[in-house]
């Protein structure tokens, strides 16, 4: 699997999710959601659920957990997904941009910034 597979899977899942989602809540989740609703007093409890997804996503990105799972399943990272290129393509390997230039001696590049 790779970057193209991840992009296709994200698009397919996005379409499947649609605009609304019905979620069954267990007692613990319902209790926690009730506590958050009382504390934050949102206009709609759905807003808390949207915030929860954003918080989970941000935490997964910041801790590297998302990259770990993406690398395991698709052999790419979130940054690679965002850029549309794998690390190898960015650095010139695997048919990347740098393949059009002749290779240089590593010592010649040592002090180039």
Give the predicted TM-score (pTM) of the model: 0.72
For 25, phi and psi rounded to 5 degrees? -110, 135
Cβ contacts of residue 59 below 8 Å, gap of 6+? 65
Residue 20 domain flag: no
> Is residue 94 within 8 Å of residue 88, measured between CB atoms?
yes
8, pLDDT greater than 50: yes
The encoded tokens of residue 102 equal 């002749």
| Host H or E run for residue 108 | helix 106-109
The answer to whether position 102 is within a domain reads: no
Instruction: Give the residue numbers spanning the domain of 57.
Output: 1-6+43-97
Look at residue 12 and tell me if it is in a domain. Answer: no
Token match 């799972």: residue?
69
How many structural domains is the chain composed of? 1
pLDDT in tens, 87-96: 888 887 755 4
In this structure, are residues 82 and 7 in contact, taking their beta carbons and an 8 Å threshold? no
Domain assignment present for residue 52? The answer is yes
Residue 34 has what pLDDT? 96
């Amino acid at each position: 699997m790779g970057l193209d597979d991840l992009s296709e899977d994200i698009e397919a899942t996005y379409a499947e999710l649609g605009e609304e989602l019905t979620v069954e809540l267990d007692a613990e989740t319902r209790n926690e959601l009730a506590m958050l609703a009382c504390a934050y007093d949102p206009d709609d409890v759905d807003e808390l659920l949207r915030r929860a997804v954003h918080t989970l996503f941000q935490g997964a990105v910041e801790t590297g957990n998302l990259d770990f799972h993406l690398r395991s399943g698709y052999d790419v990272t979130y940054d690679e997904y965002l850029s549309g290129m794998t690390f190898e393509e960015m650095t010139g390997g695997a048919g990347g941009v740098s393949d059009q230039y002749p290779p240089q001696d590593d010592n010649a590049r040592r002090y180039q910034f």
